[in-house]
Amino acid sequence: MENEMIGEIVISPRVLEVITGVATTKVEGVHSLHNKTVTDSLSKVAHGRGVYLKTEEDGTVSADIYVYLQYGINVPAVSMGIQRAVKTAVYDMAEVNLSEVNIHVVGIVPEKTPKPDMKNLFDEDFLDD
* Helix, strand, or coil (residue 37): strand
* Helix, strand, or coil (residue 89): helix
Max avg pLDDT among 22-36, 62-76, 104-118: 62-76
**What's the confidence (pLDDT) of residue 127?**
39
CATH 2.40.30.170 fits 13-109, yes or no: no
What gap in Å lies between CA 58 and CA 44, rounded to an integer? Answer: 22
Query: Does residue 126 register a pLDDT over 50?
Result: no
Contact 82, 103 (CB under 8 A): yes
pLDDT tens digits for range 52-88? 999 888 888 999 999 999 999 999 999 999 999 999 9
Going from N- to C-terminal start, the domains of the chain cover 13-109
Per the model's pLDDT, the better-predicted residue between 38 and 98 turns out to be: 98
